């Protein structure tokens, strides 16, 4: 039975000694997750296609609280390439015997075409001329297929630390996919291909959580709303950070909090899923209440 001191925040959410890998870790939600983990003692390897962005992020946001946490760039890696993923795992295996956590965050937004017309001819013209099948294929490949192959590539390292082979308890190793509230809602937001792909990421998470439980590896997903990232703000500053002003969120008219999510709010969710072994196969929307306003499934 738990004593009161077992509920200390460091006991509940501290990740000192954890080893984590974050794809797309050089900016946006990936960087937020990396900061949260490193600030609480984890060694975090961040990867992505742009090595300069990874190095800038790691240098700019290295933890300074002396608890041993680190942010370490590794790569580069294009998660849509099985060759790159195999090379990433091989390189990491030379540095670590196991990892505790994989965060599949890398993603793209894809084309946008608002279905605002009532006349079918106009509606067809808008959607037909502003999207093509290759855009859809690229979107699905990055947001869904790469999540699957990234997870599969890291399964041995995730399992390597589980007892009796290593120091981790069963289900201590886990995967967090970054899906989206867009994969849960019925509003297309002008992003048919993106929302469809994120819906597939949600279902893929559930499939992997069920099937990989045989290997004692948990899989959950965070479905963010509007958070400051290169996807929402279209840019990063010289420290790989983005900003979304409240008025831009207020213009949307469907965000009850009338602001973007705070980076710390994303970090809280990452730590919760990383530590709580009794959570498996869940999709946690961190959306400021959008799905209370916009119809979901």
pLDDT in tens, 202-219: 999 999 999 999 999 999
Q: What is the mean pLDDT of residues 125-140?
A: 94
What is the per-residue pLDDT for 89? 98
pLDDT at 164 over 90: no
Which one has a higher pLDDT value, 21 or 232? 21
Greater pLDDT, 65 or 36: 36
Catalytically annotated residue among 45, 98, 194, 226: 194
Closest to 74 measured CA to CA, from 53, 99, 92, 94: 92
pLDDT at position 245? 95
Q: Tokens 């003692």 map to which residue?
A: 41
Of 45, 109, 146, 198, the catalytic one is: 198
Question: Is 90 exceeded by the pLDDT of residue 222?
Answer: yes
Confidence class for position 153, pLDDT limits 50, 70, 90? very high
Percent pLDDT > 90 in the chain is 90
Give the DSSP per-residue string, 62-95. Answer: ---SSSS-EEEE-----TT-HHHHHHHHHHHHTT
In sequence order, the 6+-apart residues with CB closer than 8 A to the CB of 122 are: none
Inter-axis angle of helices 263-275 and 28-39, to 10 degrees?
60
272 catalytic residue (yes or no): no
- Our answer to whether residue 194 is catalytic in this structure is yes
Q: Mean pLDDT over all residues of the chain? A: 95
Domain 9-293: which CATH number of 3.40.50.720, 3.20.20.70, 3.40.50.970, 3.40.640.10: 3.40.50.720
What is the structure's pLDDT at 217?
A: 97
| pLDDT range class, residue 113, cuts 50, 70, 90 | confident
User: Of 109, 179, 180, 236, which is the active-site residue?
Assistant: 179
| Span 273-283, pLDDT tens digits | 999 999 999 99
Q: Per-residue pLDDT tens for 23-56?
A: 999 999 999 999 999 999 999 999 999 999 999 9
Give the model confidence (pLDDT) of 78-91 as tens digits: 999 999 999 999 99
pLDDT score of 258: 97
Q: Is 135 within 8 Å of 113 (Cβ atoms)? A: no
174 assigned to active site: no
């Amino acid at each position: 039975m738990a004593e009161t001191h077992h509920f200390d925040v460091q006991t509940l959410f501290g990740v000192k000694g954890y080893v984590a890998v974050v794809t797309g870790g050089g900016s946006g939600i990936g960087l937020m997750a990396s900061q949260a983990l490193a600030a609480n003692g984890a060694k975090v390897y961040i990867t992505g296609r742009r090595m300069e962005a990874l190095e800038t992020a790691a240098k700019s946001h290295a933890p300074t609280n002396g608890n041993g946490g680190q942010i370490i760039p590794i790569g580069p890696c294009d998660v849509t390439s099985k060759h790159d993923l195999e090379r990433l795992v091989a390189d990491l295996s030379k540095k670590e015997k196991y990892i505790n956590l994989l965060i599949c965050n890398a993603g793209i937004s894809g084309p946008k075409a608002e279905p605002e017309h009532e006349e079918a001819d106009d509606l067809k013209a808008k959607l037909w001329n502003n999207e093509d099948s290759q855009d859809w294929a690229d979107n699905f490949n990055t947001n869904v297929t790469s999540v699957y192959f990234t997870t599969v590539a890291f399964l041995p390292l995730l399992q390597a630390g589980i007892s009796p082979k290593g120091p981790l308890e069963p289900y201590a190793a886990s995967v967090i996919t970054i899906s989206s509230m867009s994969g849960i809602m019925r509003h297309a937001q002008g992003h048919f291909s993106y929302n469809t792909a994120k819906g597939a990421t949600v279902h893929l998470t559930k499939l992997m959580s069920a099937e990989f439980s045989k290997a004692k590896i948990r899989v959950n997903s965070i479905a963010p709303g509007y958070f400051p990232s290169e996807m929402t703000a279209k840019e990063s500053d010289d420290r790989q950070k983005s900003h979304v002003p409240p008025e831009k969120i207020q213009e949307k008219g469907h965000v009850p909090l009338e602001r973007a999510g705070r980076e710390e709010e994303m970090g809280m969710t990452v730590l919760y899923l990383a530590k709580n072994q009794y959570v498996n196969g869940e999709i946690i929307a961190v959306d400021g209440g959008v799905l209370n306003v916009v119809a979901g499934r």
